[in-house]
């Protein structure tokens, strides 16, 4: 019998659509300074009936994970209706939220009507000054902490996600301690990305080398405690990642992308059925080729390159080439190597 | 509760399942436990609706797979017991 990892490799290698991320809306109740969403996105938003039809089609295609994202997905007027329908269809529902709206009544409703498998909640700092500076909404940190206690009490499964920035890089240990208080994982993304429209102004908030080193040290220490290897080797697959091979992302106006980060449209659900896009899109086929090329390219760089957390989608945004290794990957690789060789200072 | 041909089964509400090629993936949301099962087992799970008993499930699968009835019935009873022990299924009536 295969393992789950074997099955995931099979989805990548055989282009089996397994996860779909839906950006339901770009509306948000916070105003994060490095938000990557294209707020002035043009086009006709998908209607309730289009979403319901899309859900049925995705489920018929065998999609397992349905990720409801945004903006803030709870800001979509039909969020609960869509969530309940997704549950009825048997999806594993994952929600990416800032947590701001998850007060007691809404959280209870979420559990009863949608029953998500997990909620990924954004944390931007370990204190109100840092978190609120990022969200640009005073009081958002205190409200988030209050809501996290509510989620915990209700038995909703959640994890914390954070982007490492210049503003929170001095609070890494305190943020991990905060996550520990709730007994939930905290996942850092060490790459601040350009906006989806290519605007690179968010990169000004990128963490310093010192901040990156600090994060990597924490992650290595944690891996040591868990007695696991801190190194990440690429999985034995043809493609570098699941973008366009097992995943898709769909924006509020129906544009379909190979993943949330790789913003190269492969079709639009206003014009075509998802099955048609998945099987016949020439743009998607060339993305799959690029994904294979990206893996070959990374393997050619040697084992240390794998430590730099390369993302073809970010590469495409930064340089226009999804296979081109960008500077922060080299930096992270070097820092990892230093830590592994105990030469970091 | 022992299994018999008249046993009615249902999936726990936190169970999610799908097929990947010729095997199935079953997720128990409560604790994140994942099971990978063979083609017959995932088909068996797909057919469980709380209304069909083991005998009726055997009849349906008999039309889909080339196997003799008693072997299939024994296999399904074994699958069902295993899935009950993994908190995937529960017995609603016997």
Work out the minimum CA distance from A123 to partner chain B, whole angstroms: 23
For residue A115, list chain B residues with Cβ-Cβ distance below 8 A: 13-14, 29
Position A219 scores a pLDDT of 87
Which among B18, B36, B37 has the least Cβ separation from residue A62?
B18
Q: Does domain A4-280 have CATH number 3.20.20.70?
A: yes
Work out the minimum CA distance from A148 to partner chain B, whole angstroms: 19
Portion 15-44 of B in contact with A at CB < 8 A = 16-21, 23, 25, 27, 29, 32, 34, 36-38
Position A170 scores a pLDDT of 97
Distance CA B18, CA A32 (A): 36
Long-range contacts of A173-177 (CB under 8 A, 24+ apart): A173/A218, A174/A126, A174/A127, A175/A123, A175/A125, A175/A126, A176/A218, A177/A126
Position A299 scores a pLDDT of 83
The percentage of residues in chain B with a pLDDT greater than 70, rounded to a whole number, is: 99
CB contacts < 8 Å between A and B, how many?
48
Average of pLDDT values for A287-303? Answer: 88
Tokens found for residue A228:
């696991």
Q: How many Cβ atoms are within 10 Å of A174's Cβ, its own excluded?
A: 13
More confident residue, B1 or A136: A136
Q: What are the beta bridge partners of residue B27? A: B16, B34
Q: Do B18 and A117 touch (CB under 8 A)?
A: no
For residue A117, list chain B residues with Cβ-Cβ distance below 8 A: 16, 27, 29, 32
Q: Is A83 helix (H, G, I), strand (E, B) or coil?
A: helix
Q: Which of B15, B25, B28, B31 is the best substitution to test chain A (most A C-beta atoms within 10 A)? A: B25
Q: Do A3 and B17 touch (CB under 8 A)?
A: no
Whole-model pTM: value is 0.93
Which among A3, A90, A157 has the least Cβ separation from residue B16?
A90
Residue A240: cis peptide before it, omega within 30 degrees of 0: no
A234 pLDDT higher than 70: no
Average of pLDDT values for B12-23? Answer: 95
Domain ranges of chain A: 4-280
> How many Cα neighbours within 13 Å face the side chain of A20?
27
Mean of all residue pLDDT scores within chain A:
92
Each residue's pLDDT tens digit, B53-76: 999 999 999 999 999 999 999 999
Position A221 scores a pLDDT of 83
Position A230 scores a pLDDT of 46
Each residue's pLDDT tens digit, A79-138: 999 999 999 999 999 999 999 999 999 999 999 999 999 999 999 999 999 999 999 999
Three-state SS string across A39-70, please? CCCCCCCCCHHHHHHHHHHHHHCCCCEEEEEC
Distance CA B9, CA A203 (A): 55
Each residue's pLDDT tens digit, A191-223: 998 888 888 889 899 999 999 999 999 988 877
Q: ipTM score of the complex? A: 0.91
Position A345 scores a pLDDT of 52
Q: Is A310 helix (H, G, I), strand (E, B) or coil?
A: coil
Q: Which domains does chain B have, with CATH numbers?
A: 8-87 (1.10.10.1150)
Position B63 scores a pLDDT of 95
Each residue's pLDDT tens digit, A30-76: 999 888 898 888 999 999 999 999 999 999 999 999 999 999 999 99
């Amino acid at each position: 019998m295969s393992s789950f990892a074997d099955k995931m490799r099979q989805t990548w290698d055989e282009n089996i659509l397994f996860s779909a991320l839906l950006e339901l809306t770009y509306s948000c109740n916070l105003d994060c300074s490095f938000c990557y969403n294209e707020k002035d996105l043009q086009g006709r938003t998908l209607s309730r009936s289009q979403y319901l039809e899309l859900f049925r089609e995705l489920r018929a295609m065998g999609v397992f994970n349905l990720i409801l994202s945004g903006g803030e997905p709870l800001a979509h007027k039909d969020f609960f209706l869509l969530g309940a329908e997704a549950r009825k269809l048997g999806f594993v529902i994952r929600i990416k939220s800032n947590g701001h709206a998850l007060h007691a009544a809404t959280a209870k409703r979420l559990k009863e009507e949608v029953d998500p498998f997990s909620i990924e909640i954004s944390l931007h700092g370990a204190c109100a000054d840092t978190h609120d500076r990022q969200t640009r909404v005073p009081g958002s940190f205190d409200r988030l902490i209050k809501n996290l206690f509510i989620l915990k009490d209700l038995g909703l499964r959640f994890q914390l996600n954070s982007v490492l920035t210049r503003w929170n890089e001095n609070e890494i240990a305190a943020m991990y301690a905060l996550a520990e208080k709730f007994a939930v994982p905290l996942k850092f993304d060490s790459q601040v990305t350009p906006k989806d429209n290519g605007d690179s102004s968010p990169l000004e908030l990128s963490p310093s080398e010192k901040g990156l080193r600090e994060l990597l040290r924490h992650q290595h220490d944690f891996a040591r405690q868990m007695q696991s290897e801190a190194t990440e080797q690429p999985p034995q697959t043809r493609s570098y990642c699941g973008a366009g091979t097992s995943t898709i992302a769909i924006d509020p106006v129906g544009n379909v992308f190979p993943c949330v980060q790789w913003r190269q449209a492969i079709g639009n659900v206003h014009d075509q059925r998802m099955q048609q896009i998945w099987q016949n899109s020439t743009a998607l086929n060339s993305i799959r080729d690029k994904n294979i090329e990206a893996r070959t390219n990374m393997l050619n760089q040697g084992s240390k390159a794998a430590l730099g957390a390369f993302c073809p989608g970010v590469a495409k945004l930064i340089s226009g080439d999804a296979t081109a290794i960008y500077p922060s990957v080299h930096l992270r690789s070097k820092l990892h190597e230093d830590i592994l060789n105990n030469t970091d200072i | 509760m022992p299994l018999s041909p008249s046993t009615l089964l249902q999936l726990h509400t936190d169970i999610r399942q799908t097929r990947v090629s010729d095997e199935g993936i079953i997720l128990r949301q409560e604790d994140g436990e994942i099971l990978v099962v063979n083609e017959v087992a995932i088909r068996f799970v797909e057919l469980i609706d709380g209304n069909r008993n083991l005998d009726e499930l055997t009849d349906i699968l008999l039309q889909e797979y080339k196997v003799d009835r008693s072997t299939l019935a024994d296999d399904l009873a074994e699958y069902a017991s295993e899935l009950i022990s993994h908190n995937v299924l529960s017995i609603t009536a016997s």
